[in-house]
A and B are shown apart, each in its own frame.
Chain A
Amino acid sequence: MRTIKFLLKRLALSLIVLFGLSVMIFILGRVVPGDPARMSLGANAPQETVDRMRQQMHLDEPLVVQYGYWFSGIIQGDFGKSLYTKRPVIVDLTEFFPATLELVIFSGLLMGLGGLILGIISTKFNNTWVDNIIRIVSYLGVVTPSFVFAIIFLLIFGYLWPIFPTMGRLSQYLSFPPNHTGLLLIDSLIAGEWETFWNGFSHIILPAIALALGGMSQEARITRSSMLDNMSKDYILSHRAYGIPEKKIFYKYLLKPSLIPTVTVFGLDFAVLFGNAFLVEMVFNWPGLSRYGINVMLQKDLNAISAVIILLGAIFVLMNIVTDLVVSFLDPRIQLAD
């Protein structure tokens, strides 16, 4: 009951954030110089046609009314037409988004698990060479942008030692399994096509690692520092004094409170993966949303741009809610103190 109340409160707040985002995007779209109707029709269209188009697009009405039309469209999934692909934006999104989603989910799993495991190892072997190596490597991981990793991987595994494919989601000779979720790995498992699964897996592994390394390093560092910090807390001492075995203290009583900052950062990093995916997808020629996003930005395709931004905004907001929820399970003080 308490959790539901907590969740509803967060949802309400998120809706306000999303509303603010939509207002901002709408205003940006309207203050950018240039007449959207003229832009979509081209410079040579006669003035009457443009006027008719303006009427159709409700551009002759007050801004508030315009926003109303625009917003009700978005709610129904109608983002307008893309000037770049000449198709409804929503069709483009459903085509390109699953590839990005798959990459980011895979990468997020690597990031979270890898970061956690490295952090725990680093804590366990605190101040030994194991810990030092993990710390140095994770420093490098934090400061290196993911596209640099992508390029390095491309050089090593695509050129010097070509053991992984470096282009696209699936080799040419294979066809996509029947679409259920849009996620290739899951769809191929559903269809029971092992060859497709392994092929897809070998395609996704390089971009996913390149994308994950930064966040993974961050998570490892945070897990390590918060575990070491909590280790000297009095309650760890009292667990020890009251006869709890060391292993249990470490993996239960120390790990749980130490995970709170890790989860918080993981939530943010996960959302940031969508942004970083822009460049990694370019490097690995991954047919995802990011490439589409970059192309529409270069084309000043406003409808598509606002759709991409709203989608990413919604993902950020969603990740924040999920993070809050997980953290509130880890730390009862957050839910109960409200």
Chain B
Amino acid sequence: MTQTNSLLPPLTERSGVLRWMRKNLFGSWPDAILTIVGALIIYWAVKGFLTWAFTIAEWEVVSANMRLIMVGQYPVKEVGRLWIALGFLVFLAGNSLAIWARKSYFVTILLLGFPALLAFLPIGDESRGWLFSLTALGLVGWGIGRSKPESLGKIVIFGWVISLPIFVLLTRGFTSEDGIMPIVGTNLWGGLLLTFLLTVVGIIFSFPLGVLLALGRRSELPAIRLASVTYIELVRGVPLITILFVSQLILPLFLPPNMTIDRVLRAMVGITLFSAAYLAENVRGGLQAIPRGQFEAAYALGLNGVQTMVFIILPQALRLIIPILVGQFIAVFKDTALVAIVGLLDLVGIAKTVLAQPDFLGLQREVYVFISLIYWVLSYGMSYLSQQLEVKLGVGKQ
């Protein structure tokens, strides 16, 4: 017959569910005992959880407070603005997937279909409509990107660059109360919206700052090196919560009377400064992994110091540390939960206040399980996308 047949393993090692189980789960007496004990523990835990989740848990606390958990006290009549801002992001995502990940159908379907999937949760009809529109918008973006992948690239990159300012502008508004887009104070931002903004701002601003600090630490100018080292070691030497405490509690005392800096802004700055110090060390690790020969080759080609860094060294260094960077970003995402301690109503903060509602007293488990699920889905999403990115860039293979 053909060659593949002759390459099959001997009959005794061929796969099959039973054989696989026998080999991997019941290979020896200790294995068998471990398997049975392990299975019992899993069964017991899962059964307990599922029984609770489907019969005892009162999920009404979550559905009744869905808006609060998602956007905090953001005014109802302005929520459409957030959907539009989100729509812009999804549209860009559709574009980008079509242009840079043409073959990744699975990721595309997963990402663009996600909003539509959420629509099957027990939420209001209005949100359901918005969620379906998001998927539709993503698909339109994907279609457009697919038809003209070459010419659109730069426009889409520009779109991503302005996406954060647009998101913040739409969230905050810019007119007086009677205008088309009244200002919504940051004291009304909350829930996932606040967590999302803190995370995104933290990541986007700490990244360039971190790269600069890493370069500064490797600089040959003593003043710059000393400043970078001092900053990195000072900030890494204190917990994030103390930085948040300083920004929320101590800083206001130093400001002139009647001058207040927005609390959310203060938290954003705190998170950014903190994350930058860690990022700097990650980036430095990447820089150190680049062989000396790369610098020499670049100089030999006549590139100057800046060009060498920007075109030769940094692209390689950053590619190397993608897993570490994503780990750092996920950490930033979860660290934002600390702002609940200084009185901001992020996901965790809003969860605590939901628990104080007289109608839903004592439903800690339901609320916290739901919040954890949100954290997990988003963290795992980031992790999964980064793995796809690594595959695409061939990290670890080339």
Q: Please determine whether chains A and B interact with each other in the same assembly.
A: no
